[in-house]
Structures are given as structure tokens and as C-alpha cells.
Structure 1
């Protein structure tokens, strides 16, 4: 008889509680615009501001999720398997972003005006598909894959309009091998773009090779891949120096964002940030995925095979053939990633991978000069750079997250950095936090955080 582990009974239920992990000395003082938020002369500390302006994230606050999804495993499985095709309808206009190393990724801008342009009916999610397809065909670059629903490339005039916008900008980083099309990202971008009658401009920066993006260099993404977000934010800030910029990272996107904010410190052109369900300690999170029966059986293999498909789709550009291609000029390192791992032999191995550790052992670790995946995880986790985050940052993690695990939540480092407020929930799963209507509770809180920050903070 197989002994199946029992889920922790303390993490059952749909009534959740928030616990703020805050420095004993308090948090950074935010200068307020006026008296709308209380005592404008004294300002407001970050954790107090969050508690007052986003009440459901105050210390000991209670919230409710879907009663049918009463564990983190059920929340996470439902998010990954249910049909959300008609939920969170968002129109995206795609831009190809060019980087200094010759690589590209894509930026999907939320185009709120396209709902009217294409006669979108909110109740049944129908719109003028014929006109959309005509515009899609006229803007689609040659040899690019077909994009996800309600997403097409911007024409030159539309792109100029996007670049001329001066509203506060929110840049979203998605999870591992995901993209703007994911239901949880659409839920967030819909929330962000509609709050306060559309006060924000919202864009999802898809990582290289993701969301049906082509790649032009032998480089994908990894925990240290902060150059792209750095260049993108620099470009946007230079275009409109007085424009406020906010950033939000989900899961592995949170890892990249956390590493970037820690690397650049006070030089990051970001006014505030939010990070949801980030595996801050990649090493500890990897042990959760390896040793926990539920996490290993239900999630680890799926993630590994998702990454394998990403490599397979991009093998035309990535593939290295010994004897045909010149070997790298430098030993593998963070500064000079090696592409010799992208071989047909390794791809054949990858089809049988059952864990992300196996994938990173074969691909990511040797690509970056590490001995193995665990060494890469110890070095690449954003927990190492959390102490140097200088931007006011809201962090949300759940104790019942089957992908991250409770042990990877950075309680001690968060309490030692006055610029962050860590909100720990006892339920929510990985990125899900689905309420009775299957909307994202966490996404709504993040949207309200940015809304109030823009409204009240200098």
C-alpha cells in the first residue's frame, strides 16, 4: 500500500489571515501629498500605509477565498487546469523590444480603447473578430507564430501613440515560461488597467522566447537575467523622465524583479513595486518540489516539461552542433552564458525529466558556469539581494504555496529591510488566491496598493 502524505490541516479552509512581517524599527516613511491619507506632516510608514489604504493586507486582517478550493493544492491546480478563456478579457498590442546584445523580447501593452474599437461585449466576451483579424493580418511580421487571443502587433501609428502616453506606467513580469496570456496575468492587467477609470498605462514584458515570442540570440532567461528589465525601464524613463513607473513580479518574474531591484538599489527608476508568490530562496523551494510528495507528483514534472517545450520550440535558434558551430570564446559564466548545452542529445534527455532540478542540471547551471542546479539556486535566489532593495515594495507569500513552500518565505531578511513589507497569508496557493467568483484576491490588493500609492504618495 502506498502511503500518501496528509496535507497540513492547519492550511485547510477558505478563511484566510494576513500577517505582516515588518522591521522592529518600522518601515520607510512615505511622504504624502496632502491630508487625504491622514497626517500629511508626519507622512506614513510603508506598512502602516498598506494597512490603512489596503485594509485586507493589514496585520491580522481576514479574507475569504473560494470554499471549494480549500487547500493551496486545489487553488493551484484549479488555476492551472480550469477554462478561463472567457475570463479576464484583455486586449494587448504587441511591441518587439530590441536589446543592446542583439536579442529581443516582446512587450504586450493593454489597449483599453480596443474594446470600443472592436465592439467588445463584456457580458459574453464577444467582439468584432472579423475586423480584428484584418488588423492582425496587416500588422503581423513574417515568420512569427500566431499570437494568443485578443493580441496582435501594433502598427506604426499605434506604437507612436503608446510611446507618447504619459500616464503612470505599471510593468508586469510573468511567471516561469509564462506570458501576458496567462489567466492570472490577465486578471492582474485587467484590474490594473481599469482601476480609477484607467489611471494607469499597463504593459507585460514577456521574457525571451515566451508568449509566442521569437528569439534572435542563444539566450533564454534565468534568475540573474535582469538586463532586459533594466534596459526596458531605462528606455521608458528616458522617454518621459517625469513619469512614475511601478513594477510587479509574479512567481519567477518576482525572482527576476527582486534581483533587479536589489542589484540597482537606489538607482532603479521605480517608484514602488509588488511581488507575489516569489520563490525567494530558490534552493529551499527546490527542496520543497523534490521532497514534498504532492508538489513533486502534481507540479514539478509539469513545470519541467513546460520548460522543455520552450527549448524545443526555439531549437532553430538555440541549437549548438559540435564541429559545426564555433565554441564560446569565454568559459561559461553569468557574464558569458554558454550555449553549448542546447544540443539534440540534451533535448532528447529532457523529454524524460520529472523535475525542474533535472532541467536546470542539464541546461541552466552549466550554461551559467555552475556545477549543478542546487549551486545555481543558492546563488541565484533573490533572497540574496532582498537586503539591498531601496524601493517601497509590497511582498505577498502564502504558507500553503505548493511550489514555493513556507520555508522559502523570507521572513528574517524582510524584517531587516525597512523598504519592504512582507504580507504572509495562511492560504492562497501559488499565484491563485481565487475568491468565490474565481477572481484573484491578491491581484485586487496589488492593484489597490498601486492605486493608493499613486494617489497619495509624493
Structure 2
């Protein structure tokens, strides 16, 4: 039952510019990622989403080529999280010149996860030699908490603050691309939708994103099997985090220990703990606030979303098809099989088929120019230039004989006081702090 990627996107995807070429997002990725056309054949005895997902939880393989140096970061509210930077002989933690991949893990996960090691193993070695930093959520990665707050799927402020810190730490213009897995992918996409074009990330990848938390949670609750196996397991993982930080968490006045520890599903845990800690009136309101499907249409950097259609956790029914379709910056790549963070292939020693595809997508996105031109941008610039020039030409001669500067949108028209007019069209990139000016003397 081999399958390959099915791509879903806007009818006119955003035009991607790199040093060597320019093409619509979908074509750009296909031409720069040779393995995207490869067929995926699941491991014979992992023939459905449940088996792939179960094996993913069992699979603990890490790479000797992926090593980290930890940095603790104190946030504005006094909370503490950890950042794990990849280091090797080629790159030390203080190396500020190499492109950096910002990684967000899944629920209660961390830099130790096999799905993170599988991707990083490929990008930190030849031919790429990129760097990565794994941002841990509150209470994750064996990091002590300093406030009574742990995992929150709706919180994008920690990512926002962390990216500002990373930007300041690195050399100006260092390329940043984001990737999130499961819960981390939802936080990443939600952040991008909130920030629009104001993010320091030049592009991003979302892997196994649930998108619609309320729909996915209702799907898990609908059968005894899913409620017990998936929802129950996630609740137990969250309770382990809670127990590890019990002393600090019980400083929160609204928490009742028996209620938290007796929860046996994700919904009952979030009702007893997460909802109260973060001030939501109902657990459904918390799930609505978490969901990145509400803002994905506002993303304004290239975003590649990867989902398996048989994923029993990030249910395909939660995918925001319409919102993806209307956003030229987003491309959805789906496979028929793969489960949740699975995509295992081979019989004797299964490994993740998806890792090589993700590595190639990362490399392609690092090559993207920060200035992304949508279709008709050139027409808009020409109109702006001519319109502004027309305004200046219509000014009284007495005004044009004085130094004058007129700004309309991204066009500046100046008079030098001698009757000469110069037109400047400005393109600027916030992350690189670069300004490229094209002059046309008239």
C-alpha cells in the first residue's frame, strides 16, 4: 500500500524567491526537495495509524551526532524554561553565523524525543551543517518551574519572547526557520497567525498539527479505545509533569490535588488543572483558544504543514481545509498513512521515512529570500511609483523648486530644488535590517 504526498494549497501560491530562482511555493519545494516524490511504504506490521502511533511511543532511538548544550531563560513573568542548542566540533553554542532551526516539541516532550533527533541528525551534518535550538515548554525537559504554570497549548507569548531573545543572541541577519511537532506545531502556527509578517522566522514547518483542539478532543472522547489509550496516556503524561513540580504547582490557590490526580482523560486533566491555572471559564473555551485553525489564514511567511490522514491524535477532521486554501503562504502535504509522528518504514529496523523529507524542506526554506513577493506586487509597485510621480509633477512650480520629500506606501519621491525628481522604491526586511533601494531618475 505505497502512498506519496498529496499537496493542497491556494490556486496561486506565493512566489518564492531564492538566490538561484523564483517559483510558486509548491513548485519551489518540489524542485528543491528531490525526495518529495518518493513513495512511502509503511512497515508491514505497522499497517495502520494506531500501530504507527504506538510504535512511535515505543521508539526511543537517539542520534550520537545530536548533542546539546543547555541554556536557562527567565521570562518576563518570572517563569523559567530551557533552550537546548546543538553543538559539535564545527559549531559551538556561541557560533552566530550559521542558520538556526527553532524546534518546538510535542506535549510533555523535549529535546530527547526520537522524532527530533531523526530530523536534527540530518541537518547538523553534511551537507547542511545547520544549527538548532529546542525550546522546552514550561515544566518540560527536566527543567524546574519557578511559577505554578506548566503546559499550555494556547500560550504563544513564551515563543514570542524566546524568539526575541534568540534574535538578540545571534548575529543580525542570521536565518531562522521554525518547526513544531504535534502540540508544538499548533503553538507555532498560532503564533505565526498572530504575528503575520512581523515574525523573525523566514519560514516554518508544522508536523502532525491537531489544528482544532476541540474537534480532536471530542474525537478522542467518542470511543472507549481512543479515550483510554490516547486521551488517558496524555493525561498520565501531564500528571507526571505535575507531580514532578508538585510543590510549586500546589502554590496555585485554585488547584485541588485529588481532582488533578484522579483525572484519567485529557479533558478531565485540563478541567482540573490547565483551565484553572490559566483562567479559562470552561475547558472547551481553553480548547478553542488553543486552536491554530482560527488564525492560519493570517500566516504571512511560507508554511509547510505535514499530516497523516490516519493520525488518531491529530485527527484529519480538524484540518482547516478552507483556511489553508485561501492563504497563498500555506502548503499542506498529507500522506494516507503514518499515524501520529510515525511514518515508519522497513521491516527489521524501522525508521522514519519522513525525516529525509523534512530535512530537504528545511534546507529549501533556509534558501528563501525574506522578501516574499505576492502575485501583482510588481504591478502595485509600478502603480505606486507612477501615482506618486504624477502627484509631484502636478505640484506648483514654486513648490518643486524647493527640496521636497513625498512618501506614498513604499515609494519615496524627492525633488532636489533644481526641478529634478528622483523616485525610490523601498523594500525592507525586518529580520535582516537591510534596505534595498531601486532608483529611477526621471
Same fold (TM over 0.5): yes
User: Aligned residue for 2:19?
Assistant: 33
Output the CA distance in 1 between the equivalents of 2:203 and 2:277.
33
* Residue from 412, 418, 426 that aligns with 2:328: 418
Deviation at 1:407, TM superposition (A): 0.2
Gaps of 5+ in 2: 371-442
Asked if the contact 1:195/1:447 (under 8 Å) is kept, the reply is no
Output the CA distance in 2 between the equivalents of 1:81 and 1:211.
18
Query: Are 2:289 and 1:379 equivalent residues in the alignment?
Result: yes
Query: Are 2:366 and 1:454 equivalent residues in the alignment?
Result: yes
| 1:249-264 equivalent positions in 2, closer than 5 A | 249-264=180-195
| 1:176-191 equivalent positions in 2, closer than 5 A | 176-191=107-122
* Residue from 285, 307, 331 that aligns with 1:397: 307
Select between 354-363 and 48-57 the one with higher mean Cα deviation.
48-57
User: Aligned residue for 1:203?
Assistant: 133
Asked if the contact 2:62/2:118 (under 8 Å) is kept, the reply is no
Alpha carbons of structure 1 residues 64 and 55: separation in structure 2 relative to 1, 3 Å: farther
User: Aligned residue for 1:18?
Assistant: 5
Asked if the contact 2:69/2:93 (under 8 Å) is kept, the reply is no
User: Aligned residue for 2:353?
Assistant: 441
**3-state DSSP class of the match of 1:202?**
strand
Asked if the contact 2:180/2:206 (under 8 Å) is kept, the reply is yes
| 1:313-332 equivalent positions in 2, closer than 5 A | 313-320=244-251
User: Aligned residue for 1:162?
Assistant: 93
| 1:39-438 equivalent positions in 2, closer than 5 A | 40=21, 43-57=22-36, 62-82=39-59, 84-85=60-61, 90-113=66-89, 161-198=92-129, 200-239=130-169, 240-320=171-251, 339-342=252-255, 346-436=256-346, 437-438=349-350
Asked if the contact 1:88/1:183 (under 8 Å) is kept, the reply is no
Deviation at 1:227, TM superposition (A): 1.6
Output the CA distance in 2 between the equivalents of 1:228 and 1:378.
19
Root-mean-square deviation over aligned CA pairs: 2.0
Select between 420-429 and 404-413 the one with higher mean Cα deviation.
404-413
Deviation at 1:296, TM superposition (A): 1.9
Deviation at 1:448, TM superposition (A): 0.6
Output the CA distance in 2 between the equivalents of 1:391 and 1:31.
12
Alpha carbons of structure 1 residues 21 and 355: separation in structure 2 relative to 1, 3 Å: same
Output the CA distance in 2 between the equivalents of 1:171 and 1:412.
28
**3-state DSSP class of the match of 1:162?**
coil
Select between 429-438 and 298-307 the one with higher mean Cα deviation.
429-438
Superposed CA offset, 1:173-202 (max 9, x none): 00001101111122122222125141x111
Count of equivalent residues: 367
**3-state DSSP class of the match of 1:65?**
coil
Alpha carbons of structure 1 residues 361 and 88: separation in structure 2 relative to 1, 3 Å: farther
Deviation at 1:280, TM superposition (A): 0.2
Q: Which has the higher strand share?
A: 2
Output the CA distance in 1 between the equivalents of 2:73 and 2:356.
29
**3-state DSSP class of the match of 1:403?**
coil
Asked if the contact 1:88/1:186 (under 8 Å) is kept, the reply is no
Alpha carbons of structure 1 residues 195 and 402: separation in structure 2 relative to 1, 3 Å: farther
Output the CA distance in 1 between the equivalents of 2:64 and 2:190.
29
Deviation at 1:457, TM superposition (A): 4.7
Output the CA distance in 1 between the equivalents of 2:195 and 2:311.
29
TM-score by length of 2: 0.78
Gaps of 5+ in 1: 1-12, 35-39, 115-157, 321-338
Deviation at 1:315, TM superposition (A): 1.6
Which is greater in Rg? 2
Superposed CA offset, 1:43-89 (max 9, x none): 1111111222224445xx6322322211111011011124x356566
**3-state DSSP class of the match of 1:62?**
coil
User: Aligned residue for 2:390?
Assistant: none
**3-state DSSP class of the match of 2:127?**
helix
